[in-house]
């Protein structure tokens, strides 16, 4: 195969992958947002068929030869072509190492595990989910060994979600969070909680929908390229930079719930919306890693969205949408209310200060699960003990305990650390940004355009051209330093609670 043939073959593959990913992405989005419930069966048929086609598109000898030909001639191809081939080769290697039958059996297991988890959570019945979890753990251990038998299985899994992540870097990270933040958490919890009752009045969903549009406008999200829908759990999905979708979930008695979902998902959306034109319709047009994606969503949600200047800009918008409910509230009261911090049971509802501890618990548990040092039947007791240790809270049942997250039922073992890493990355990005300009006068006016332009230049536009570590270093202008994150949280909550 000549280099020219190899490049043509790769181009063809990328176009095909785009089409199938787009189709499967829309099928999945439709299933979550608009499809009637009984449609699941037909969708499973179609998704199963198309998954088979996409597997065969990638995993065949001609593709292998094309990718190897291109990677052997890196100097003769463009950097974009080289990076495309590199990423495809990683996907190829990951796919080819797992025997097709095991891959299919695992996919079926996950479909069933997801349904079993839903049921088990509803009935708070861990025993009903345990057999699935046991098998998922076994598969993940085995798959990790297929990929790289020379490294600890959990490191291989972590690396799958966040290139370069390992227990060697995460252990000290989470240890630091625990050591430095636990005293702050305890101190904050001893102080009177700020009043947030005004956020828990009745906020009609119709008015909240209009408010979402205004929030997206404040964030500078171009609506001709980004839609919003409603799902049980908020998420962001993207097909190309001209077609990004976010979702949210409205609670009639908690206006901040959807508000911060919209800002969080809006951050993910801005990342995808900001990828460069020239990488669209290729495998480079997407966020670089889960951690970097979370760095953007949590940047907008917390560093901007839960800042006092943003609350000053937000207040008149909220008062416009909810005049009765927000009457007489000051920006300072809003700021205090949206930063109310208390150790709690549910990760997704945790405040900025305690959030990292929720992630730390899951990280420690996953190490034990994958390492084989904890029996599946002992996990709930372990979970409850760690919540007591890390956050001082008593878990009343498994529904609000070990069954709360969908991730393990979906086979996502090693994903959680991305959330905490992303939060920490964001703080260093903000520090780097503040060296270039002072963003807070803009934020107070509700103008995030310069901030988004800065992040666009440093992060968004690159898509997957750079590796996550390259991208992170170029954005923060130095090595990753979790102390920066700890200092930020300590200062913010010390000031807020006048410790």
Report the residue from 123, 175, 191, 223 that binds a second copy according to the rule CB under 8 A. Answer: 223
Report the residue from 9, 83, 121, 245 that binds a second copy according to the rule CB under 8 A. Answer: 245
- How is residue 156 annotated by DSSP? H
Count the helix, strand and coil residues of the chain and give each as a percent rounded to the nearest 5. 70, 5, 25
Give the integer Cα–Cα distance in Å for 168 and 155: 9
Q: Between residue 11 and residue 30, which ones bind a second copy under the rule CB under 8 A?
A: 15-16, 18-19, 22-24, 26-27, 29-30
Give the integer Cα–Cα distance in Å for 322 and 295: 30
Q: How far is CA 123 from CA 152, 384, 410, in A?
A: 35, 18, 19
Q: Is 32 in the site for a second copy (CB under 8 A)?
A: no
Q: Give me the 272-301 binding string for a second copy, x by CB under 8 A, dash otherwise.
A: --------xx--------------------
By beta-carbon proximity to a second copy, the closer residue of 245 and 367 is 245
Report the residue from 89, 134, 225, 340 that binds a second copy according to the rule CB under 8 A. Answer: 225
By beta-carbon proximity to a second copy, the closer residue of 76 and 210 is 210
- How is residue 480 annotated by DSSP? -
By beta-carbon proximity to a second copy, the closer residue of 41 and 435 is 41
Sign of CA dihedral 423, 169, 174, 110: positive
Report the residue from 3, 14, 50, 82 that binds a second copy according to the rule CB under 8 A. Answer: 50
Contact 143, 99 (CB under 8 A): no
Q: Is 39 in the site for a second copy (CB under 8 A)?
A: yes
By beta-carbon proximity to a second copy, the closer residue of 45 and 495 is 45
Contact 70, 6 (CB under 8 A): yes
Give me the least distance between CB of 206 and a second copy, in Å please: 6
The residues carrying an active-site annotation are: 265
By beta-carbon proximity to a second copy, the closer residue of 237 and 339 is 237
Q: Is 240 in the site for a second copy (CB under 8 A)?
A: yes
Facing residues of 244 across strands?
Answer: 226, 238
Q: Which helix (H) or strand (E) is 240 found in, with range?
A: strand 236-240
DSSP 215-238: HHHHTT--TTTEEEEE-SS--EEE
Report the residue from 239, 299, 415, 419 that binds a second copy according to the rule CB under 8 A. Answer: 239
DSSP 308-365: HHHHHHHHHHHHHH-TTTTTT--HHHHHHHHT-----S-GGG--HHHHHHHHHHHHHH
Q: Is 216 in the site for a second copy (CB under 8 A)?
A: no
Give me the least distance between CB of 217 and a second copy, in Å please: 14
Report the residue from 71, 80, 98, 229 that binds a second copy according to the rule CB under 8 A. Answer: 229
Give the integer Cα–Cα distance in Å for 417 and 291: 8
Give me the least distance between CB of 348 and a second copy, in Å please: 25
By beta-carbon proximity to a second copy, the closer residue of 207 and 444 is 207
By beta-carbon proximity to a second copy, the closer residue of 107 and 124 is 107
Q: Is 35 in the site for a second copy (CB under 8 A)?
A: yes
Report the residue from 68, 243, 254, 400 that binds a second copy according to the rule CB under 8 A. Answer: 243
By beta-carbon proximity to a second copy, the closer residue of 50 and 104 is 50
Give the integer Cα–Cα distance in Å for 1 and 12: 15
**Strands across the sheet containing 226-230:** 226-230, 243-248, 236-240
Q: Is 89 in the site for a second copy (CB under 8 A)?
A: no
Report the residue from 152, 164, 194, 227 that binds a second copy according to the rule CB under 8 A. Answer: 227
Of 421, 300, 386, 399, the residue nearest 346 (C-alpha): 399
Report the residue from 11, 43, 142, 180 that binds a second copy according to the rule CB under 8 A. Answer: 43
Give me the least distance between CB of 61 and a second copy, in Å please: 21
Q: State the Cα angle at 174 between 171 and 178, rounded to 5°.
A: 135
Binding site for a second copy (CB under 8 A): 15-16, 18-19, 22-24, 26-27, 29-30, 33-39, 41-43, 45-46, 49-50, 206, 222-227, 229, 239-240, 242-245, 280-281
């Amino acid at each position: 195969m000549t280099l020219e043939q190899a490049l043509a073959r790769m181009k063809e593959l990328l176009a095909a992958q785009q089409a199938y990913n787009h189709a499967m992405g829309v099928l999945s989005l439709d299933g979550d947002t608009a499809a009637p419930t009984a449609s699941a069966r037909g969708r499973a048929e179609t998704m199963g068929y198309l998954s088979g086609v996409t597997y065969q598109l990638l995993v065949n000898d001609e593709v292998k030869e094309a990718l190897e030909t291109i990677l052997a001639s890196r100097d003769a191809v463009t950097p974009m072509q080289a990076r495309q081939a590199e990423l495809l080769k990683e996907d190829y290697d990951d796919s080819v190492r797992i025997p097709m039958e095991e891959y299919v059996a695992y996919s079926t297991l996950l479909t069933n595990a997801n349904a079993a988890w839903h049921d088990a959570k509803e009935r708070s019945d861990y025993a009903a989910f345990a057999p699935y979890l046991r098998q998922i753990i076994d598969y993940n251990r085995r798959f990790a060994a297929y990929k790289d038998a020379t490294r600890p299985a959990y490191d291989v899994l972590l690396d799958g979600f966040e290139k370069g992540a390992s227990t060697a870097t995460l252990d000290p990270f989470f240890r630091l969070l625990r050591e430095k933040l636990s005293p702050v958490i305890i101190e904050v919890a001893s102080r009177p909680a700020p009043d947030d009752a005004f956020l828990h009045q009745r906020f009609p969903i119709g008015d909240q929908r209009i408010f979402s549009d205004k929030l997206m406008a404040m964030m500078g999200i171009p609506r001709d390229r980004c839609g919003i829908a409603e799902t049980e759990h908020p998420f962001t999905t993207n097909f190309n930079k001209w077609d990004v979708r976010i979702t949210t979930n409205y609670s009639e008695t908690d206006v901040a719930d959807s508000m911060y979902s919209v800002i969080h998902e809006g951050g993910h959306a801005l990342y995808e919306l900001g990828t460069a034109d020239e990488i669209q319709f290729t495998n480079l047009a997407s966020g670089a890693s889960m951690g970097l994606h979370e760095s953007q969503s949590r940047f907008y949600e917390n560093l901007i969205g839960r800042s006092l200047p943003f609350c000053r800009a937000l207040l008149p918008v909220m008062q416009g949408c909810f005049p009765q409910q927000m009457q007489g509230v000051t920006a300072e009261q809003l700021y205090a209310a949206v930063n109310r911090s208390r150790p709690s049971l549910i990760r997704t509802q945790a405040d900025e200060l305690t959030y990292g501890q929720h992630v730390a618990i899951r990280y420690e548990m996953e190490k034990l699960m994958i390492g084989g040092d904890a029996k599946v039947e002992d996990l709930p007791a372990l979970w409850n003990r760690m919540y007591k240790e890390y956050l001082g809270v008593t878990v009343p049942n498994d529904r609000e305990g070990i069954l709360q997250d969908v991730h393990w039922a979906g086979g996502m073992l090693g994903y959680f650390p991305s959330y905490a890493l992303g939060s920490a990355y964001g703080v260093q990005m903000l520090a780097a940004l503040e060296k270039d300009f002072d963003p807070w006068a803009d934020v107070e006016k509700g103008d995030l355009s310069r901030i988004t332009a800065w992040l666009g230049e440093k992060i968004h536009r690159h898509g997957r051209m750079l590796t996550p570590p390259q991208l992170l270093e170029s954005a923060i202008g130095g090595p990753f330093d979790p102390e920066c994150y700890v200092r930020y949280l300590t200062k913010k909550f010390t000031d807020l609670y006048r410790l």
